[in-house]
Amino acid sequence: MPSPFAPTQPARSDADLIRTNRGFYESLWADARLVSPERFNTWPLVRELAAAAPRRLEVAPGLRPRLPLEGTCFVDLSHAALRKLSERGAEAVHGMIGALPWANARFDLVCAFDILEHVADDESALAELARVAAPGATLLMSVPLHPEAWTAFDDFVGHCRRYEPAQIEALLDRYGFHIERSAVYGMQPKSSRLLELGQYYLTHQRERAMWWYNRVFMPLGLRMQKPLQWRPGMGDTAGVDEVLLVCRKR
């Protein structure tokens, strides 16, 4: 049972979340560099899946796309991210996860990394992902776990919730997705002091913070990534901050 002293997850409207996410991510992507998908530890999995899925969609990648830039459709709220994705030859359109501008059963591979926790109406978001996913399509999704693990960082980056493992399993099942395998995921620093410093500089000295982010912290985080360790289904989630799920649409 969560501690009675654990931070609570705020109730937010879509308008509040859009405002928070735009305020944080639009300025972040305006100053950040695009990182190629090949540099992430998801690439071995993505390369395998993409080879068998010519119709691909990634939702809200910002400047951290995981799917191949060529041949993938990208949708994002950030005009700064869309501009930089387009400059690299990607097909990038403006839109939201709750109203995707594509026909039913359009894609064989759909990705939504670190997105669902930012959306007030996550059921509508999942309904849209299910709508554009063809029968048998693969859904790659990452979400933060355990509401009792909520921190000021979740507020800062515009999270609406963290999920109980059984909660996200049931939600995916409701919209026709079965979890085939999962892996511990995420690049969030473990040090609360480091997170506090990052938040302070991003708020008060953004130009300096972005210099360090682009030239030091992001390259260091990429270098320190470990290969993903896969396990069947949801797996053991004790102490897991974030999980990457490979799901199949029934």
Which residues are paired to 57 by β-bridges?
Answer: 73, 110
Is residue 140 in a domain? Answer: yes
pLDDT in tens, 144-166: 999 999 987 788 778 899 999 99
Same domain, 137 and 205: no
> Do 204 and 239 share a domain, yes or no?
no
More confidently predicted of 237 and 16: 237
SS3 184: strand
**146 and 200 share a domain?**
no
96 and 193 inside one domain: no
Q: Does residue 3 lie in a domain region?
A: no
Which CATH number goes with the domain that contains 237? Answer: 3.40.50.150
Quick check: is 206 in a domain?
A: yes
Say yes or no: 50 and 167 in one domain: yes
- Kindly indicate the confidence band of residue 111, based on its pLDDT and cuts at 50, 70 and 90: very high
Q: Are residues 177 and 197 in the same domain?
A: no
Q: Do residues 46 and 143 both lie within one domain? A: yes
Give the C-alpha separation, 243 to 184, whole Å.
Answer: 5
In the chain, the number of structural domains is 2
CA dist 223 and 216 (Å) reads 11
Same domain for 179 and 210, yes or no, is no
Q: Structural domain of residue 120, as residue ranges?
A: 14-187+227-249
pLDDT of residue 32: 82
Confidence of residue 2 (pLDDT cuts 50, 70, 90): very low
Could you tell me the maximum CA-CA distance found in the chain, to the nearest angstrom?
50
* Whether 168 and 199 share a structural domain: no
C-alpha closest to that of 235 among 168, 177, 176: 168
Residue 115: C-alpha distances to residues 121, 125, 157, 220 (Å): 12, 9, 11, 23
Convert the pLDDT of each residue in 66-97 to its tens digit.
Answer: 999 999 999 998 999 999 999 999 999 999 99
**Domain shared by 110 and 204, yes or no:** no
